[in-house]
Amino acid sequence: MNAKLEQSESNSGLDIVKLSLAVLFVVGGLFGFYYFADQWSTALRAIALIGAFVLAGLVGAGTHSGRALRVFLAESQFELRKVVWPTRDETIRTTGVIIAVVIIISLILGLIDLILKWVVMDWLLTLGH
């Protein structure tokens, strides 16, 4: 956990302009991708669309929200390096235990269902006859 205290800043006017421009890049890229379907090849339209997304990302990265996202991703990557992943053998053993428990619980629930069916259908409903 990060011990830094951060003051929440409201988006400045410049940040709002930058985010609006990023949204315009995305919308313009999507619009162009479909609008030029007859004139341009699919590969060229896809490259233009990817370019619009990259431009939107670059513009958005310069905002306060973009910087906060970069800090979050960097801290997440740092924390991910601390994770101890299980070995292949541990994973296989754990999976086997889970499969065995699921089978056992399924059999128990099936047995309970069978007993309840027998009690309700064959015993309780035949008492009145």
pLDDT of residue 127: 73
**Residue 6 placed within a domain:** no
Range of the domain at 93: 86-129
For the chain, the C-alpha Rg in angstroms (whole number) is 29
Whole-angstrom Cα distance, residue 63 to residue 19?
7
Q: What is the DSSP letter of 40?
A: S
Same-domain check for residues 69 and 110: no
Whole-angstrom Cα distance, residue 98 to residue 107?
14
Domain boundary among 42, 60, 80: 80
Number of domains within the chain: 2
Same-domain check for residues 50 and 66: yes
**Residue 4 placed within a domain:** no
Same-domain check for residues 22 and 44: yes
Q: What's the token pair of residue 86?
A: 């299980």
Buried b (16+ CB within 10 A) or exposed e, 41-57: eeeebeebbeebeebbe
- Tell me what the mean pLDDT of segment 46-54 comes to: 95
Question: Confidence band (pLDDT; 50, 70, 90) for 107?
Answer: very high
pLDDT one-digit tens code per residue, 53-86: 999 999 999 999 899 999 999 999 999 999 999 9
Q: What's the token pair of residue 52?
A: 């619009």
pLDDT of residue 128: 64
**Residue 23 placed within a domain:** yes
**Residue 38 placed within a domain:** yes
